[in-house]
Amino acid sequence: MIQPDEFLETVDMIQKENLDVRTVTMGINLLDCHRESVKDTCNAIQNKIKKYAAHLVETCDNVSSEYSIKVVNKRIAVTPIANVGAGFDASGFVQIAHALDDAASSVGVDLLGGFSADVANGTSGGDLALIASIPQALTETKKVCSSINVGTTRYGINMDAVVLLGKTVKALADASAAQGGFAAAKFVVFTNQPGDNPFMAGAIHGMDQHEVVINVGVSGPGVIARALERKIAKSGAQNLGLQDLAEVIKHTAFRVTRCGELIGRQVANALKIPFGVVDLSLAPTPNVGDSVGEILQILGVDSVGAPGSTAILAMLNDAVKKGGVFASQSVGGLSGAFIPVCEDKILAEAVRDGSLTIEKLEAMTSVCSVGLDMIAIPGSVDAATISAVIADEMAIGIINGKTTAVRLIPVPGKEAGDFIAFGGLFGESAIMPIRNTGKSSRFCNFGGKIPAPIHSLRN
């Protein structure tokens, strides 16, 4: 029997602490949409998306109203488009991006991910054409997100692709200079990219997934932060060890995950399509009180980035998984805490105050998901330096057998310490200084690949 206190605590979680479901993302396989012409392919893509996702938003809203739990974002992830459009040139891929954008608008979702390619062990013609189209495609569309997987623990890192994508990031920012380089915020480079991640910009519908599926991203860090504050206020900081606080995180993650699974399964049931996974990731938003950085402060570092930050993040990430994995029948996606600078108010403030550097962020990404995320850097940083930053982050991923990603925005015309606001969920931040620029060209010029790590040989 649930006790009155538990009822009231649950009500508080929903009403005061914004317990919600961060995203319901429908994955749709588009492999069967390739036709002779780009135009016919675009039509087939639009028809298929509309067929499956026509009632996605309405269904989420209905379940949301029945349960009084907000579904913040409704999204779509599709088969990596390089596989669907292989054979077309870059202008063909731009047209496909427009078709995806129109389909996303017509069904009313917030974003659509999957303008993507997997080049972990080599780059095909279709992959190259897609990559060439990315700057124009993302500048001319509103809802389309793009991701490229450049490495896996099994195959190593495709450095030729990393070098190319450093230039792509620059081109994206330059093409959207009037919006502060915003197009780069819709593009992310991955290693060990999962095919069932519901979060943007890196959501894809992997080649090994269902025909169509519903994946869910759980509520944000705010609920965990409030639970920790309650515990500390009740028991007194002097009476608590970190293990006690890890336990609070674990219990709260259980509740948060349950809420996500309940809502996600109801949506999947109503649409009569399979339910995939719950992604346990704590995804911050720029809203006050919805910050992973704030959790680090509550757990004892006065400034985010101060020594101790990595240890706390490791504990947070681990406790979230322990609570979540028992709560859900199927956990997947990225399932770790995100530290996207622009999207997290406290992290953005730490960058402004100089306490959080990109080097510390890189260290922190080795113990959480997903990587160097939503970091605004000076527009003057050269492409080779960006590629080298990507390579460093990818190395953390392939060696540790985990997903890592890089989403940098080289803001045209801005220098370290300046300020940029992208608005909405994409947030705002001071420009992060990048030290040692222009010193990695020789490394990048080698190109080729970084071989698979020894532990790729597991058979």
Partner 1 sequence: MNNADLQISTYVISIMARDRVGIVADVSKNISELGGNITDIRQRVLCGYFTMILLISFPAGITQAAILTKLAEGSESDLDIQVKPVLEKVSLPANNYPENTYVLTVTGSDQIGFVAHVSKFCKENQINILDLSTTSKADQYIMILFIDLTKAEDIDLIRVRLNQFSMKTGFRVSLQHYNIFRAVNEIDLPIV
Chain contacts with partner 1 (rule: CB under 8 A): 2, 4, 6-8, 10-11, 13-15, 65-69, 254-255, 258-259, 261-262, 265-266, 269, 329
Q: How far is residue 214's CA from residue 110's CA, in Å, rounded to a whole number?
A: 15
* Dist. CA 418–CA 414, nearest whole Å: 6
Q: Report the Cα 289 to chain-centroid distance in Å.
A: 20
State which residue, 162 or 224, has the beta carbon closest to partner 1: 224
Helix or strand run (H / E) with residue 103: helix 90-107
| 90 CB burial (10 A radius; 0-12, 13-18, 19+) | middle
Q: Which is nearer to partner 1, 60 or 425 (CB)?
A: 60
Q: Name the minimum Å distance from CB 323 to partner 1.
A: 11
Positions of E strands within 98-248:
111-113, 117-118, 144-152, 156-158, 187-191, 212-217
Q: Which residue, among 377, 393, 347, has the nearest Cα to 437 in the 3D structure?
A: 377
Minimum distance, C-beta of residue 228 to partner 1, in the bound complex (Å): 17
CB of 254 to partner 1, least distance (A): 8
Closest to partner 1 by CB, 37 or 235: 235
Q: Which residue number, 73 or 252, has a Cβ lying nearer to partner 1?
A: 252
Whether the bond into 270 is cis, omega within 30 of 0 = no
How near is the Cβ of 275 to partner 1 at its closest, in Å? 10
* Residue closest to 380 by CA, chosen among 410, 422, 405: 410
Distant-in-sequence, close-in-space partners of 453: CB < 8 Å, separation ≥ 6: 153, 156, 398, 399
Q: Which is nearer to partner 1, 149 or 257 (CB)?
A: 257
Minimum Å gap between C-beta 224 and partner 1 is 14
Structure tokens at 156: 């190593």
Q: Which is nearer to partner 1, 251 or 352 (CB)?
A: 251
- What is the closest distance, in whole angstroms, from the C-beta atom of residue 321 to partner 1 in the complex? 18
Residue 110 Cβ vs partner 1, minimum distance, rounded to whole Å: 23
Under 8 Å between Cβ of 131 and 148: yes
Tokens for 239, please give them: 């009476």
Main-chain phi, psi angles of 349, to 5 degrees = -65, -35
Q: Give me the least distance between CB of 294 and partner 1, in Å please.
A: 22
**Closest CB 108 distance from partner 1, rounded Å:** 19
Which of 313, 435, 450 is CA-nearest to residue 394?
450
Which of 66/359 has CB closer to partner 1?
Answer: 66
Nearer Cβ to partner 1 (9/110): 9
If the CB atoms of residues 16 and 55 are measured against partner 1, the closer one turns out to be 16
**Residues 356, 222 contacting (CB under 8 angstroms):** no
